[in-house]
Homo-oligomer: A and B are copies of this chain.
């Protein structure tokens, strides 16, 4: 009676380069999944080659707005002879993705939660950034509005200055270019800025430079790409 936290690839790829064989074999034994998106979960199970026929697999929607009654019902479906998986659309469920609310219920009812290895853009970006990995914070999305956004950027810079904690954050893909321009303009030129784009995919592009150096280079086109930004010293 377990709930497996199952990572999925960060984008489309014909080959599986990111999910360990052990995780594939666990998935192949499950017929119950709580998922961020039913359509992409079905595509993932097909891609991974689950041997259980589609009509025998139950996929139930899970979001941050799932009600406590729904979450309770989901937990009740997990039985001694029926484990389940949690799948987000891309990456690791529960980390910058739904899933945490159901896991919290699982702990309350003493259902064992097993995290499985797979790709996390946050972790991979941090590994490849060369920035401080002894202390770091993931801040999620920056505020959209100009003044709040400026305050948030300034607060991150102050945090780096006082603690050297690496700050990891993101933006909606269509606003990536605007954010990069703003960062390069407003940040202290001596700070290190890493841009990690399309991580683990064919066009992966990761670069760390001082803000001063970014100002001298032509900026990459990040429009509509999955990108993480990391600020450090």
Contacts and interface: CB of A to CB of B under 8 A. Distances in A.
Contact of A5 (B16, B113, B127): B127
Interface string A85-112: 0000000111111011111111100001
A114 interface: yes
Interface in A46-83: none
Nearest to A92: B127
A124 B128 contact: no
Contact of A20 (B17, B120, B123): B17
Contacts of A104: 130-131, 192, 208
A118 to B, nearest CB: 6
A119 B117 CA distance: 6
A24 B62 CA distance: 34
Contacts of A117: 17-18, 20, 117-119, 124, 200
Contacts of A5: 127-128
Interface in A201-224: 204, 206-209
A135 interface: yes
A27 interface: no
B135 A138 contact: yes
Contacts of A40: none
A129 interface: yes
A199 interface: yes
Interface in A126-153: 126-140
A99 to B, nearest CB: 8
A137 B136 contact: yes
Given A100-B131, A100-B132, A137-B165, A95 B126 contact: yes
B199 A115 contact: yes
Q: Which 8 A-B pairs have the closest CB atoms?
A: A103-B130, A104-B130, A17-B22, A137-B137, A115-B124, A115-B128, A115-B127, A95-B133
